[in-house]
Amino acid sequence: MQKLGFLGLGIMGSAMARNLVDAGHDVTVWNRSSAKCDPLVKAGARQADTPAAVVSASDITFACVSDPEASSELCFGPDGVLEGMEKGKGYVDMSTIDLETSQIIEEAVIGEGGRYLEAPVSGSKTPAINGNLIILAAGERSLYEEALPAFDAMGKMSLYLGDVGSGAAMKLVVNMIMGTMMAAFTEGMSLAEKAGLSTQDLLAILDAGAISNPMFRVKGALMQDDEFSPAFPLKHAQKDIRLALLLGDLLGHGMPTTAAANEVFKRARSMGLDDNDFSAVFKASQS
C-alpha cells in the first residue's frame, strides 16, 4: 500500500488530507503549528515532527501552503522536504506558485533523485471539503499516474497538463476568464438596476439560458443581499488577472476585454474591497 504524506494543514490542506484519510490511505501529516494535526490523527493519520520526516516516511508527499515563499521554505528550510528526499520518492506541491519557484523546487527534487509535480487546484473551501477540487497537474508524468488514487480522493477531476509551469498557467487562464466574466456580469446587473429592471428577473432569465452557470446563480443571489464574505478574495482575483495579462504580454498576446476588467478590479481595490469576495467588483460597477 502506498504511503502518503501531507504538509500544510490550513483551510485547504486539512480538508484535502482528511479526504485522503477517509478514502483509506495511509497518511502521515505535518503542520507548523502541530495542533492542526489532532483532528487528522483522530481520524486515523500518523503525525511527524518535520517535513523531512514526512517525506522519509512516505512514497508520495503532498503539500499545500499559502504562497511561493512558504513553498520554498518548506522545501529548502531546515528539516525541509529536500532533507528527506531520496531516489524514487514523489513530491507534489499543490500550492499556487509561480513558474520560477516551481522550476527551482523541481530541479532540487530531481537533484536528490526524486520526482516532482506541481498541482495547483481550482476550487475553494467547500469543494476541498467535498472532494470536488479540480487538480491541474504538471511535471513528471509517472508521478501523476501514481498519484491518481490520491487525486481521486481530493478532487472530482485531475488533468496532466505537461511540463512544470503548465498547471500554474492553466489556473491563470481559468481565473482570468472567471474574473472577466464576473466583471461583465456586474456591469449587466448594475445596468439593469439603473434601467429600473428587476435584477431578480435578470438572474432568473440568465439561469434559464445558454449562459446559466453556478457562479451567476450563487453570487448573483448574494449580491442582491449586499453579501460579499470572501470565498475568493478580490485582491487574489485581481492578482490572477494581472498575472494572466503579464503572461499574455510575454507572449505578445493582446487581451483588451480582460485588461478592461482588470482596471475595474483595480478600482474596486482602491475602494477598499481587497478582502471582500471578488464578486464585490459589483460595487465598482455600480459607482
For the question of residue 266 being annotated catalytic, the response is: no
171, 194, 266, 283: which is the annotated catalytic residue? 171
Shortest distance, CB of residue 111 to a copy of itself, whole angstroms? 26
Distance CA 55, CA 66 (A): 19
Give the Cα separation of 287 and 279 in Å (integer): 14
Considering the complex, what minimum distance in angstroms separates the CB of residue 164 from a copy of itself?
A: 13
For the record, the C-alpha cell of 158 comes out as 485531475
Residue among 3 and 267 whose Cβ is closer to a copy of itself: 267
Q: In whole angstroms, how close is the CB of 104 to a copy of itself at the nearest point?
A: 19
Residue 53 or 99: the one with the smaller Cβ distance to a copy of itself is: 99
Cα 132 to Cα 152: distance, rounded to the nearest angstrom: 9
- d(CA 48, CA 54) in angstroms, rounded, equals 6
Chain centre to alpha carbon of residue 20: 17
- Minimum distance, C-beta of residue 274 to a copy of itself, in the bound complex (Å): 8
For residues 50 and 30, is the Cβ–Cβ distance under 8 A? yes
d(C-alpha 157, C-alpha 171), whole Å: 14
The percent of the chain in helix, strand and coil, each rounded to the nearest 5, is 60, 15, 30
Of 113 and 272, the one with the shorter C-beta distance to a copy of itself is 272
Which amino acid, one-letter code, is at 102?
Answer: S
Q: Closest approach of Cβ 77 to a copy of itself, in Å?
A: 25
Decide whether 198 or 224 has the Cβ nearer to a copy of itself.
198
For a copy of itself, the closer CB: 129 or 192: 192
How many other C-beta atoms lie within 10 A of the C-beta of residue 214? 8
Asked if residue 159 lies in contact with residue 138, where contact means CB atoms within 8 angstroms, the answer is: no
Instruction: Between 78 and 256, name the residue whose CB sits nearer to a copy of itself.
Output: 256
Q: Which helix (H) or strand (E) holds 136?
A: strand 133-139
Query: For residue 287, what is its C-alpha cell?
Result: 459607482
Name the minimum Å distance from CB 162 to a copy of itself: 8
Beta bridge partners of 63: 7, 93
Residues assigned a catalytic role: 171
